[in-house]
Structure 1
Amino acid sequence: MVEKDGCYSCLAALRVLRVSLVDELEGQIDSLLEILVSQEVFTRDDREEVLCQLGPRARVRNVLDILACKGEEAAEIFLSIRSHHQQEAQKPSEEGHTDQPQFVEYNKVKQKHKDFLTRRSESMLFYNTRHGEKILFSEHYVNLLLADGHQCLERKRHEVLTFGQKRLSMQQKSAVHRKIAPAELFSSANGNRPVKKVLVSGVAGIGKTILVQKMLFDFGGNRDHLGFDFIIHMTFRDLNLIDKPTNFRKLVLRKNRHLSKELDAILANDKKLLIILDGFDEFRHYRSCDVDAFVTEPDEDAEVVEVVGSLMQGELLPNASVMLTSRPTAINHIPVGCIDRFVLITGFSLAEVQDFFLRYFQDSAIADCMFAVVSANELMLTLCYIPAFCYIVCCILKESKDLCGESPKTMTDIYLQYLVALLRSHTQARAETFRQEQRAGAVQKQSDIVLKLGRLAFQKLMEHQTLFYSSDQDVAELEGCSLVSTFLDKTVAQEPGCTEEVYSFAHLTVQEFFAAVYCAVTDDPLPDVLPHTSSRAEGSNNGHLDLFHRFLSGILSERNANLLSRQVGLSCNKDKVDIYRQRIIRELTMLCENRAQILNHLHCLFEQQDPSLALAVQPNTLHVNVSDETLSQMDYNAIKYFLNLTKGNISELDLTGTGVSCEALRDMQPLLLRCNRLW
């Protein structure tokens, strides 16, 4: 209690203890309320007002609010009742200590669960893993860099495009962002408050699901130090299949039948329970998790979003620890205040990229040679910090050394080589299967399948969807085609009485690339190169289609259009190529004259790698506005590419709010000397 003017203030004590009282009393609030009414501290109307609150924690808060209005005497009686409750609660705990779930059966189930998790996590599913191929997790896992902190909730640009610069910034500020190990995720950095709810965020392909697998693998083999008895793992793509009321107990037992006999004991001992919810951004209800209708018991039926929301907000199993993983796109929909720790996966360091190459190629000489090739290409090296992209680069290097006479210069170059490399690999690896299908007359041309994949990618990208279900008509059209497994990952979700297959592209950027291929080779009209600046400022785009537009520009370039036609059998419409070139010249000219943001247009121009296009941009006054974007090296390359091809003075170059460094300014010095105005 707090001393004031020589006496102790119980009201002040309630204010000081408010947060801890909510945690302490949520399980006792109903009985506590009856005592307050019986001792005439509360009226029946007070009780009704409290009972109208949704969830025990909200009821405790309401009780404290009412007490604050009733004065010092009411607060003193309440604290006396609370003290008596504490003493009573300790008695059965002390007398029944041996009744805690630490007996033989509980420990048997604990070990059985660890064995189960070991079997489930011992193999690593690489993209394009061939059927029956088993890759041991322990031999191929490469450490990920984890750091305290999270990405800004306001997204102006595509998450992958900003990643390289943020990754380098993280390296430079390692003293600010403390590097942490997976086993430390629930350890408080300062020890002031317990860490119960952890959010792990990172861009697509950065390794969120692999981190989860690492935790399950270590827990199963007794290699972790998290201190939990049980870890329950659920994925949101699996939870998406539930369309009727359910409860937490059913959710656990869907994939963990072996826990049924001891589940009551496990849930009763929830301080020793960790629940991992993987892929929050994939949850079809992620915008609705800030629920106000809570469930408080594991057996209480409700919509799946209410069960998840109650778990996240601590109304259900309040003592359990919860770990959420999510891409940055969805984290601003997580209920405010329910996260104790924000953790950012920043991918690989340079040493980890080298380690990945060694594990992938399984030969140190080849790995060193391939890493040297990547190190000489700034674009490829920057993107290799993303594990999924690192795999794509290794795949290209392994399968297609002879595809191009020069190192790829643009994102489109890299992804087109990836497409051709996997098509070639598929044809070679499945030559006999292909001949059998051919004899049976069941062969679809590769170009037709790529086109169908492109249509699926394009339609779902426009709908902001990255998961596709077997019941979807566009997915059903791809059934029975062995090539599909080369580009789509498949998981099988089982429900009582039905099995649903869930598909996604190996990486978000692969979906964007296929969508751009479809858009380039079909007769559909071209989308705008970029939505109007006004709609962008209102948050309708947030960079969602930036990379799609860059891929589209790169595919419509002469050199890549020829490669696509020659290697894949898909031809870009000549009229569409001409229309696109005229449009990008016209829009860049207009944007320069109007001082509008032009960064993504500059990237689209860069993807074309055609100097005549830049020379054709001749505004009356050349205003280059790239302000209010944290610029990466790729951004500087696109800006320099354009300005080096223009002639004469630059009326204005606006670098306001870009975080431009002294090094970058020195690199751009010849261009800066041409500027009449520099911001």
Structure 2
Amino acid sequence: MAGEESAFTVLLGALEGLTLEGFQEFKTKLSHVHNEGSWNIPKDALVKATCPSTLVSCMGKNYGEDAAVDVAIRLFEEMNQRDLAEKILDEKVKEYKRKYREHVAREFLRYKEVDSCLGENLSVSSRYTDLTIAKKSWSQHGGEPEGADVSWGCADTTATITVQTLFKPDEGGQATQVMVLVGAPGMGKTMTIRKMMVEWVEGTLCTQFDYVFCIDCKELSFSKEVSVLDLVSKCCPHQQMPAGNILDNQEKILFIFDGFEALGFPLAQPKDELSSDPREAKLLETTLMSLFKRTVLPESSLLITTRPTALQNLGRCLEGECYMEILGFSAAAREEYFHRYFENANKAEMAFRFTRGNKILYSLCIIPAMSWTICTILEQELYKKNNLLECSKATTYMGVFYLSWLMKCRGSNAQQDLQQFLHKLCSLAADGIWKHKVLFEEKEIKDLGLDRPDLLSLFLCEKILKKGIDHGNIYSFTHLHLQEFFAAMFYVLDDDEATDSNPEALAKDVNMLLESYSKSRKDLNLTVQFLFGLVNPKSIEYAGERIGCRISPRAREDLLRWLQMRHRGLSHTGEAMMVKELDTFHFLFEMNEKSFVQSVLGCFTGIDLHDVRLTPYDQMALCFCIKQWDGLDSVTLRSCSFHQQHRREEPATGLPRQHPRWDELRSPLHRLCQALGHVGSSLQSLRLQWCGLTEGSCEALGTLLATHPSLACLELGDGALGDGGVRLLCSGLQQPGCHLRILR
């Protein structure tokens, strides 16, 4: 860096400060040096080096600058010139610190996301969004004093800690030396570590440490015997590392072990004695245990990230540790993440509004990896279109995409093992949904054969009960909606094995699920919704190619028959068959297959919905189905409201028609009228009674009247249309394409 001396420059100054006798003594000792791995200086070259600058140049040419500095330090110590040796060493250490920070910057400032374009590197600082991190107080044996807790979607409800305050001293001036950062897969542990490393390089975080060594436990797991010095060397890019200076100032070292669960071995009982010498090579588990138990470098600090399933194993070998749990994105952080991902404000706003309009997706966005999944898919949609009003990717597709991301986090397991494991996992999820159960005992996990740490930790969080409870640990899915997703997968996942002989095992009876939902179990709604999405041909193909699991399409006929028959009981004999439940449209939207939608809706002639608050996602599902429904002749919406987000914003009339948000900001009725007026529509009757219509709704209705000659009856109830609205309706009525006979 400009204005900073190098150790090589300091060496030149030290030689220039020697007397003539001292300079000759240095040259004499240098003539006897035999440095391994580099050329020794020829005697005739030493004879010609009659001044310090020539000698330094000669040393650099033959040894290399770093090795030349080490040789000089050793020779000055032999000459009893310890002040000069320490001065050069101090500068070498400073120089190495700069080089190490530059190395860390190269390694951590930018990163490549899963599925990113070839060569596309992203900036950590521009993408990272603050997470909600809560302080926990597990005992040293892993016991949680207050018992297990499930707090899905509650990242806003806890007093939180930020990355910036992790290692700050408390009110008494005491700083925690051992920190454990706990989080389920996809919660952002590794990204948080990257952000910490970047801020340490920038001098805004962990400034009390001269060195922060980040060790990837996946890579470390391949090692057999290592010393602590080896761990340090793996992080350092240069051979001439001042190991003695680094290790002697242990209070200035922070070790970060990222992904402890990847080590895959218990640390409680090392096979040999713990070490106190950082240079002593021992079995990997013994060296780690020595660090964790503070028998080696006890003044250094540790930060360990882990999934909850490895927490008990880790807790047995730590002392004086403090636990932090990543709870995910708060509501504000979710919106911030979308803006950071898209960078373009208009696209970010469209994507976030779309997501917030779907309460399932919005709830799942508490998981950072799910936010990334949704943004990635919506980015592809926005690349194809200018808006998301007709997004073809439903909730299930995003769940399948997220599952494929999880599979990238696993080891190299055989596909057959994965298929069998998923079947057992889905059985657990479905059994829990049927029994209103979200917590599972350790015995249940073992009885099902799910005690596979390499796979289990991808899907379940381990919750450790307080002392005195003898049921072992308990487990939960990382989010209730993910449990519902896997419960749906239970019914369609292909199973090559013989049927479970256990009489208590849950049967794969799709019809029983659908019948229970129809009669009383409305809590099964999302499971049924996911079921439709999973048997979509594209989902089946994607799951097979990208995840390696086989989904059977056999349930399609059961789903088709159920939808065709479910509304018959709601219609009187001789009455036209009407769709009277909004969920039907969501089920068909999840299926997202034109022929299936037409097969279902071909049995009906109308829509009759009462007392429904139509969210943007509801409107999208409804309009998708209407566009495939040529036989629709009547629509009745009674006491229904059309929810529109960001009503405080300027109306569409303030924007040019080519603006990407033109359609989005128009009256929410505009989207429905567009769908009702699709080519091939035979709509005859439209009733919008007590739906809170306003003047802004009348433009869309006027256009529908003018362009849809089959429409014969329009009933608008008590909407506050205003004079302007009436004029817009009259304009439509006067058009030659309008054949309306009844207007109420």
- Normalising by structure 2, we get a TM-score of 0.45
Larger Rg: 2
More helix per residue: 1
Q: Which has the higher contact order (CA 8 A, sep 6+)?
A: 1
- Normalising by structure 1, we get a TM-score of 0.49
